[in-house]
Structures are given as structure tokens and as C-alpha cells.
Amino acid sequence: MEFTVGQIAGVLNGTVEGEASRRVDRLAKIEEAREGAVAFLSNPKYEPHLYTTGASAVIVSKTLELKQPVAAALIRVDDPYLGFTQLLEFYQQFTRAGKRGVEQPSFVGSNSEIGDEGYRGAFSYVGENCQIGRGVLIFPHATIGDRCRIGDGTIIYAGAKIYADTVIGARCVVHAGAVIGSDGFGFAPQPDGSYRPIPQIGNVVLEDNVSIGANATIDCATMGSTIIREGAKIDNLVQIAHNVEIGRHTVVASQSGISGSTKIGNYCVLAGQVGIVGHITLADRTTVTAQSGVGKSIKEEGQFVQGAPAFNLRDSLRANAVFRHLPELERRLLKLERAQEKSDAPEKS
């Protein structure tokens, strides 16, 4: 694919400073780009590369003031990072546009409906009574169980497993190896100390524009639905237990685990390796820092929490600062105690 700088600026609603007729055919980092590439600059610490880059064009802020001449054509936009993201999306649409039709062998069960302009890779499986929307891409070895519903434009990557009765909205992405709808971890203890499996008869619902990372697992509800709300982004290797609800546009980073029946609010951020106990609620716009363990509900919106157990970020930072000085504080305390003991001792006659 080859475009002019002017065409790229048109896609981004930007303005060109320099030669709009230059041709570009790839995307690259500003520090690595060569002739024919488009790069971007959003972080000020990379600005020195702007004056040395070999890129044919660089996406920059409308407000950037140049400190010296630049060889590349500039595409000025309101937000370079967002602009480059739009360009990546544009590029991805073209690279995926060729994925159409059906590779053999593949299987579709009885009474299933599959929309036009889609793709089914070799060894993919679609069960009975499914409804698959228009332009859905199902890559090789993906499995979709009976009675699933998948919205328009969704992508199911290779080896993903979608259990029966799962509902997936439009424009979702389920990456390779993800498992959606496996049994929740429910076992009833018995008098003899053994455990009896509790049937998990619910399902999983992914609303529109949800992204599920590679090898993430989302358990079906015991009854009802495990729900991932619109626009939520789940990273690789995340475990979401039965009956959990993840709010709109919440992001959950890798290796985090959310226990059963917990409700995470809208616009929350869970950093890597966060653990959340079951049956609690996190208010909207809560941020939990990496490796924190949340053991109780967070009821006030916009809180930053840290630690295990997690508590207010500012208090946690203060506590950590004191913790590093504990040995010295202990020595000072012991010295004061010894001095006090001497002053309290009765004088010898």
C-alpha cells in the first residue's frame, strides 16, 4: 500500500507542512524510520529524533514549535498519539481486507446463520443455532459453541474457544487462546470433606468494542451472565470469575485475577498482577496499582489504591517511606527506652 502525505493528512484531518506529494508505504518508530515511512512524535523526550529521522513524514502536534529545520514533511494534528492510533487502525483495515471466504476443512452446525463478507479459517468450528454477523473473521482452529451470537465486524483469532450460549457484540476482538464461557469455580463442600461440582448454567456477555487478550479466561455465570461492558479492554493472561461485571471502558492489565460476583465500575484501571476478592464493588474511575490486592469494596469514585491489602495511594506511599526507615527508627526507639530506663532507675545511696 502506498499513499501520499496529503492523503494521510486527510485521513487524520490534519494539515501538511512540507511536501504533500511525498509517498509513504509503511509505519515506523521515529528513531528507526527510513525513507517511505510515517512516524509520530508525542513524547517530548523523543523530539531530538525529529531533526535526525529518516522518515518521509512525521505526525506532530499543531502546537509544536520547531527548534531547527526538519527534513520530513510534518502532519500537524491535535493529538499525535491519537492520530497515529487512527493511522494504525486505517492500516489494519487494509491488511485485513483480504481475509474473506471459507477455508477447508471448516465446520458449521445446523441452523446457524453466518453474515456476508466474513472469513472462516481452516479447522474452525461453529456449532448449531449460532448467529454470526456481517464481516466476522474467524481464524483457524477457533471454536464457537452452540447458540452463540456474535456481532458485526468481530474478530476471533486462532485457537480461541467460545463456549455455548456466549453473546459477543459488534467490533470485538478475541485474541488467540482466549477461553470465553468455561465453568465458574464452584464446588460445594460435603460432610466427608470432598467437593461436589455446582453446575454453571449461565453464560458470558461481551458488549460492543470489547477486546480480550491472548490466553485470557472468562468464566460463565453460575446463573445469569458474566458481563464485560462496552469498550472494556482485557489484557493477556487475565482471569475473570463467574458472575463478575466489568464496567464500560475499564482496562485490566496482564496476570490480574477478579474473583466471583465482584463488580468493577466504569473507566477503572487495574494494573498488572492485581488481585480482587469476590463479592465486592469498585466505584467508577478507580485505579489499582500493580501487584495490589483489593480485599474490600471501594465506594468513593476516582480513588487510587495500592498495596496488599490495597488502600489510598498517598497513604500507602507515606507508609512505604516510613517502612524503609524502620531499622533506624527501631534503633532510635531502643536508645530512647534505655535512656528512659536509666532516668527512672532509683539513685544509689
Helical axes 5-12 vs 80-96, angle rounded to 10°: 110
**Alpha-carbon separation of residue 336 from 35, 156, 340 (angstroms):** 70, 67, 6
- Does residue 279 have an active-site annotation? no
Q: Which of 141, 242, 249, 325 is catalytic?
A: 242
CATH topology of domain 3-96: 3.40.1390
Let me know if domain 101-315 sits in CATH 2.160.10.10: yes
Q: Which regions of the chain are under pLDDT 50? A: none
Sort 278 into a burial class: Cβ within 10 Å, 0-12 / 13-18 / 19+.
Answer: middle
So what's the pLDDT on residue 96?
Answer: 66
Extract long-range pairs of 145-153: CB within 8 Å, 24+ residues apart: 145/181, 146/109, 151/208, 152/115
Query: Which ranges in the chain are annotated with CATH 2.160.10.10?
Result: 101-315
**What is d(CA 12, CA 75) in angstroms, rounded to the nearest whole number?**
9
Q: Look up the pTM and report it.
A: 0.81
- 3-class state of residue 85 by DSSP: helix
Question: What is the pLDDT, as a whole number, of residue 348?
Answer: 63
The CATH 3.40.1390.10 portion of the chain extends over 3-96
N-term to C-term CA, the chain = 101
